[in-house]
Structure 1
Amino acid sequence: MSALNILSGGAAQGLVASLAPTFKTRTGLDIEGGFGAVGIMAGKLREGVPADIVLLTKALIAILAQENLVTPASITDVGLVETAMAVRAGDPPVSASDPASLRAALLGADAIFVPDIKTSTAGLHVARVLRQLDIEDKVAARLRIYPNGATAMRHLAGSDALRPVGCTQSTEIISTPGIVLSGSLPPGCELSTMYTAAVATRAAHATQAQHLIDLLSGPEQHELRVQAGFLDAKKDA
């Protein structure tokens, strides 16, 4: 059966999955491909992995457009995603109103579950925040690093640590059973990332890829985006 191939950041996996039935009804195509750290997904596109649609950070899509790997006219913002804190369902919430309380919360955790700190949007940010808070060395042994946020959150859900926390993009937290969104990162440590979709230059199903972009970004899907953890694009102003 023919399918639309997607290369996407893990932050959008839940939203794409929720729209897959509607997309198939309208186009007859399933959605297949990869979700993971944005740097790895961009690398796959550059290596020639088949893709009809790419859904990554706005900055990375702009670079891919310069490399003639996506169609500029198709580039469309989907929404902002915050990097946030997570705890296991049933654990006391962990929140931070300022950098000092975030520092205390991270030092108080005996395991910190995060996505790849070299290739993922949230993981790169977590590494910067740990340096900013001057606790990079103090918590290094407690970091539990996984290829992407979804995998990190699944392991957090099953952790047997006493006081584990997670930090990744809110959409990945919301879509993972067994964990709950515990709070945004405080001012001075926050990160909101715009996710943007585009049709790949070598798309085999360019028309259907544009239809999925319209579904992902259209006003009729606003509530679905909110439920998945996306904020309105206009908040990027």
Structure 2
Amino acid sequence: MHRRLLLGALALPFAARAQAAPLRVLGTGAVAASTRDLAAAFTARTGRAIAFENANAGVVARRLREGEAADLVLNSASQVERLAADGILDGGTRRELGRMLIGAAVRQGAPLPDISTEAALRAAILAAPVIAHSDPATGATAGTHAARLIERLGIAEQMRPRTLVFPGGGAAVQAVAEGRAALALSQVSEIIAVPGAVLVGPLPDSAQLVTAYLGAVHARAADREGALAFLTHLAGPDGQARFRAAGFATG
């Protein structure tokens, strides 16, 4: 009898976690693939389900400002800093997940263009019948940088009718994988995650944008303890190894 009571008591925390509402995580496309993999491992270990949604950096920030509920937010450092300053995120919980570069992608089997210098990158963009990137109008990190870079390279007018824009970088890379665009400019992690697309390489230093991605707990998180536990998992050894595999620089 006592043994049954003890076993029942030990099972209660696990049952409670299994029955709890999923931990709500809102992040960007750059961290999506890694976060989903790490969420599965976290759930297997703790029994706590994760409900993960992603959008580009600007859309994530807008959704939070419009009142969307979340327990944990994963976004670019600049967006996290602004959201913390506005009291939406708890700035004291910020943890860096890694730093990401922007790269170029082509369809698997296509010749790899030279993008080793800014001049070579300019030529590669001009040679592409159609290019793709995320939508700068929505605040997408890679899309905003790509649009500004093309403007600075002096080829905005030539490329405007030959550019497809998408809500997120993953969709832009998917357009390359499907043959709807010849070249995509996106976060390296988004390129690696799309089957049928190949990473040509990161943009040259003079054309590069390095973006740090942070996690922070929502100031009104329904489950602050769960959010902190998952953030610790993301920033821990297993999490950092997965982010490095996705192309992030960590540590």
State whether TM-score is above 0.5.
yes
Matches within 5 A, 1:141-160: 141-160=161-180
Q: In structure 2, do the counterparts of structure 1 residues 25 and 133 end up closer, same or farther at CA, with 3 Å as the change threshold?
A: same
Q: In structure 2, do the counterparts of structure 1 residues 220 and 19 end up closer, same or farther at CA, with 3 Å as the change threshold?
A: closer
Matches within 5 A, 1:1-237: 2-118=21-137, 119-160=139-180, 164-233=182-251
Aligned length: 231
CA contact (8 A) 2:36 2:52 kept: no
Q: By how many angstroms is 1:160 displaced?
A: 4.7
CA contact (8 A) 1:89 1:178 kept: yes
Q: In structure 2, do the counterparts of structure 1 residues 9 and 160 end up closer, same or farther at CA, with 3 Å as the change threshold?
A: closer
Identity of aligned residues (%): 34
Tell me, what secondary structure is at the counterpart of 2:207? coil
Query: What is the TM-score when the length of structure 2 is the normalising length?
Result: 0.88
Q: By how many angstroms is 1:34 displaced?
A: 2.2
Structure 1: segments with no counterpart, 5+ residues: none
Q: In structure 2, do the counterparts of structure 1 residues 101 and 53 end up closer, same or farther at CA, with 3 Å as the change threshold?
A: same
Q: By how many angstroms is 1:47 displaced?
A: 1.1
Q: By how many angstroms is 1:217 displaced?
A: 1.2
Query: What is the TM-score when the length of structure 1 is the normalising length?
Result: 0.93
CA contact (8 A) 2:100 2:188 kept: yes
Distance 2:45 2:89 in 1: 24
User: C-alpha offsets along residues 5-32 of structure 1, whole Å, 9 cap, x if unaligned?
Assistant: 1111110001101112111123322222
Distance 1:116 1:31 in 2: 28
Distance 2:91 2:125 in 1: 41
Distance 1:212 1:139 in 2: 42
Distance 2:42 2:207 in 1: 37
1:65 partner letter? A
User: C-alpha offsets along residues 118-138 of structure 1, whole Å, 9 cap, x if unaligned?
Assistant: 210000000110011000111
Tell me, what secondary structure is at the counterpart of 1:51? coil
Distance 1:190 1:160 in 2: 25
